[in-house]
Amino acid sequence: MSGGDMFVAGSQLLVSKVFDIENLQQALEGLSDDVMVDLALADDE
């Protein structure tokens, strides 16, 4: 428990324009009690 990263995972999601991104963001941020979550959102039209 030196404070360093134990592991790092990344993901890219391709979703439809009607996808509820705010709901996804809230769900991922809800994990922050157990794990550190870094979230970056981009709109690549």
Predicted pLDDT of residue 35 = 77
DSSP, collapsed to helix, strand or coil, labels residue 28 as helix
Predicted pLDDT of residue 45 = 62
CB atoms within 10 A of CB 26: 10
Q: pLDDT by residue (tens digit) across 1-45?
A: 577 777 777 888 888 889 898 898 888 888 777 777 777 777 766
Predicted pLDDT of residue 8 = 78
